Chains A and B, each alone.
Chain A
Amino acid sequence: MARIFAYVTHKNGVADDSALELAAAVRKIDPAAAPTAIVTGCGIELDTVCEAIRLSFAEVWKIAGDNLAYPNAELVRKALVQVLPIGSIVLLPHDHFGIDLGPGLSIKLNAAFAPDVLGIDGVEGGCLKVVRQEFGGQVSAHVRCDLSLGVVISIRPGAFKALETVPANGTMVNKSSGVGTLESGRRYLETIIAESGDVDITKHQVLVSIGRGIQDKDNVGIAEELAEALGAAVSCSRPVVDAKWLPKSRQVGSSGQTVKPKVYLACGISGSFQHLAGIKGSPLIVAINKNPKAPIFQVADVGIVDDILEFIPEMTEKVLEARGAKTR
């Protein structure tokens, strides 16, 4: 079996949650594997992260460099290519960093590439068997990756449950000297923090969340009416922001807000994993969608196959009726 590596991302001296998820994914490839963590960065933050993840990995490779302070995937790729042995199995998180790094890394390592993997069925006949999703999560696929020249795998965040930490007390190896001068035609400038919007959807107990099924900017009003009747706020999925029907601050998902309501009414939302990643705290999820195959029905508590353009106004009426009856 080839050597297995997990690239650990971190921020402010703390390893990302994905680190332990990658360790769990490694166990699915080979339960007996002793994976190596690779961490790049600089200074005391890097040392803190390396020290912390020694508990979960048999070995930790540290690559320190002044220009690795911010994780520019172009520079990280150049560093990794210099230290990784030929034929390695390399795991990354499938997030904005992994999407940046993975494809190019696979080419430069001359390895196969398996992106956005959410299941691993072990190794058979020199192939790693993985599970992916296609067509917006409507169907899954069994995929076989040729391991003969190694493979780069990006792991969907949340798909593998982090294992209880097995005290590994891993060995620290400083690989910094194996990496020459790193330069890239892409230079990180700064991070611009998202502007807060008119409504803070993270503070609401009930969200009326709309997706592509709302169909037109003029229909957003029906969701606002229901939200008003419920004392809720209107949030949305990515297509609604892309179409400029609602501001970015209303978007739930990995590239938007993380919300923790008591009730989440998903109206005309298909339920991509990026969207679901923004819903925390196990709310009651009610999905209303015309398409009975919409992936949202796999995660919702209650599903209704219906046209939201008719369902929402009727629900608004019923809520107002119930409220009216109470105040009388």
Chain B
Amino acid sequence: MEILVCVKRVPDTTENELQLTGNDIDRDDLVYSINEPDNYAVEEALQIVAKTGGSVTVATVGGEDDEEVLRREMAMGAKQGVLLSDDAFNESDGRGIATVLASYVGKNHYDLILTGVQADDGAAQVGGMLAAMLDYPFASLVTSIEALDGKKLRISREIEGGNKEMNEIDLPCVLSIQTGINEPRYVGMKGIRQVASVEIPAFGAADLGLDTSAVGAAGARVNRTDYFVPALGKGAEILQGSREENIDKVMELMKARGGLN
């Protein structure tokens, strides 16, 4: 099976305390990494091709800086990285990103396309949009994939209360992958070095035959005007004492609530 995984390089929010500057977050000194759900998607793709044969390609829409996440996923075992890059793609909304990816898919053949369930903007949108543009079936929040034959998959989706919704889906299709579907393999420095000099092809709007009015700021119908930190409502009372004093205070509050006797 030929599998395309769409990935994104994002600020690692577990490592960074975000600060605002102007209308954006302060992007200097941020630690970037692969969007976590995308990493699960790549691992899932690698596990599928290990069983069915074929290869995994990773693609991202971005610039030179984004090559590092492609190389990281290639070090995991993806055979090829593809950079979709053009100044005209800047400031695309979700539809714009999906449009770029759809034009790339249209020029190649993939049996299965995976994305992470969502990225840093929490939108969970590009996979479903891409599927609709390609007229492929789509399923979100996928927590298991079983290849039934060369033509369809049996998948589970995560629904409420830890329950699972089982579906059969025809290939080619687009799936958005939920975290926890597998245990992504470790990537060491040695693996990264091995792919350091592999050439990553870059394709721009002209290569993809894209009308630039459909992408970037020109095509965007959804625009973020600024970031802000909402005025805290009640918010937590932050205990400022020593650790010992804080623990005493917590125990006192727990007792008052009948949670400690």
Is chain B found bound to chain A in the same assembly?
A: yes
What is A's interface to B at a CB cutoff of 8 Å? Answer: 72, 74, 77, 95-96, 99-108, 112-116, 132-136, 138-146, 149, 184-194, 205-206, 212, 230, 238-239, 241-242, 244, 248-249, 251, 254-258, 261-263, 265, 270, 283-287, 291-293, 296-306, 310-311, 314-315, 318-319, 322
Known A-B contacts A186-B169, A293-B17, A301-B237; A142 and B225 likewise in contact (beta carbons under 8 Å): yes
Question: Is B218 in contact with chain A by the CB < 8 A criterion?
Answer: no
Q: Which residues of A contact B166 (CB under 8 A)?
A: 188-192
Of the listed residues A139, A189, A265, the one surrounded by the most CB atoms of chain B closer than 10 A to its CB is A139
Select which of A104, A144, A251, A319 is within 8 A of B131 by beta carbon: A104
Residues of A within 8 A of B229 (CB): 139-140
Q: Which residues of B contact A287 (CB under 8 A)?
A: 236
What are 20 pairs between A and B in contact, CB < 8 Å?
A74-B137, A99-B140, A99-B141, A112-B95, A134-B121, A134-B122, A138-B13, A139-B25, A141-B226, A186-B170, A191-B166, A256-B162, A257-B162, A263-B259, A292-B17, A293-B18, A306-B243, A314-B247, A318-B244, A319-B260
Contacts of B133 in A (CB 8 A): 107
B98 CB-CB contact with A under 8 Å: yes
Nearest-CB residue, chain B, relative to A251: B162
Asked if residues B238 and A255 are in contact (CB atoms below 8 Å), the reply is: no
Decide: A99 and B124 in contact? CB cutoff 8 A: yes
Contacts known (A193-B163, A257-B161); A302 close to B95, Cβ less than 8 A? no
Chain A hits for B18, CB < 8 A: 135, 138-139, 293
Q: How many A-B residue pairs have CB under 8 A?
A: 265
Which residue on chain B has the smallest CB distance to residue A77?
B132
Residues of A within 8 A of B138 (CB): 74, 100, 104, 186
Q: With both chains docked as a complex, state the minimum distance between the C-beta of A279 and any C-beta of chain B, in angstroms.
A: 14
A108: min CB distance to chain B, Å? 6
Shortest Cβ-Cβ A-B pairs, 9 listed: A103-B128, A303-B236, A194-B162, A263-B259, A242-B180, A185-B137, A185-B170, A104-B132, A107-B132
Q: From residue A72, how far is it (CB to closest CB) to chain B in Å? A: 8
Count chain B residues whose beta carbon lies closer than 8 angstroms to a beta carbon of A: 83
B20 at the interface (CB under 8 A from A): yes
Known: A194-B162, A314-B247. A303 touches B239 (CB 8 A): yes
Whether A103 lies near B127 (C-beta < 8 A) is yes
- Of B49-57, B66-74, B77-85, B152-160, the segment with at least 4 beta carbons within 8 Å of chain A is B152-160
Query: Is the C-beta of B196 less than 8 angstroms from some C-beta in chain A?
Result: no
A230 with B260: CB separation less than 8 A: yes
Contact with A along B157-196 (1 / 0, CB 8 A): 1111111111111100100100110010000000000000
Q: How far is the CB of A252 from chain B (nearest CB, A)?
A: 11
> A139 touching B222 by the CB < 8 A rule?
no
Contacts A192-B163, A242-B180, A311-B247 hold; do A302 and B129 have CB atoms under 8 A apart? no
Residues of B contacting A: mostly: mixed
* CB–CB B254/A284 < 8 A: yes
With both beta carbons as reference points, the residue of chain B lying nearest to A317 in the complex is identified as B247
Q: Is the CB of B160 within 8 A of A254?
A: yes
Known: A287-B236, A302-B253. A191 touches B164 (CB 8 A): yes
The chain A residue sitting closest to B249, CB to CB, is A302
List B contacts of A315 (CB < 8 A): 247, 250-251
Cβ contacts under 8 Å, B216 to chain A: none
CB <8 Å contact, A144 and B222? yes
Residue B203 interfacial (CB < 8 Å): no
> B169 — which chain A residues lie within 8 A by C-beta?
185-187
Q: Taking the complex as formed, is B212 at the interface, i.e. its CB lies under 8 A from any CB of chain A?
A: no
Tell me which residues across on chain A come within 8 A of B227, comparing CB atoms.
134, 139-141
**A191–B159 CB distance below 8 A:** yes
Task: Say whether B106 faces chain A, with CB atoms less than 8 Å apart.
Answer: no
Across the interface, do B239 and A304 meet the contact criterion of CB distance under 8 Å?
yes
Given contacts A107-B132, A134-B122, A248-B162, contact A262 B235 (CB under 8 A): no
Contacts of B251 in A (CB 8 A): 315, 318-319, 322
Asked if A96 meets B159 with Cβ closer than 8 Å, knowing A104-B132, A186-B137, the reply is yes
Assess the A103–B180 pair: CB atoms within 8 A.
no
Q: What CA separation (Å) do A134 and B167 show in the bound complex?
A: 30
Q: Do A106 and B140 have beta carbons less than 8 Å apart? A: no
A212, A283, A318 interface centre (most CB from chain B within 10 Å):
A318
A263 (CB) vs chain B CBs: closest residue:
B259
Closest to B128 in A: A103
Residue B88 is within 8 A (CB to CB) of chain A in the complex: no
On whether A286 and B132 interact (CB within 8 A), knowing A189-B166, A291-B17, the answer reads: no
Q: A185-B169, A192-B165 are in contact. List 16 more A-B contacts (CB 8 A).
A: A96-B140, A104-B132, A107-B129, A142-B224, A146-B221, A149-B221, A188-B167, A189-B168, A192-B164, A238-B179, A255-B162, A297-B235, A302-B253, A304-B238, A319-B251, A319-B260
How far is the CB of A79 from the nearest CB of chain B, in Å?
15
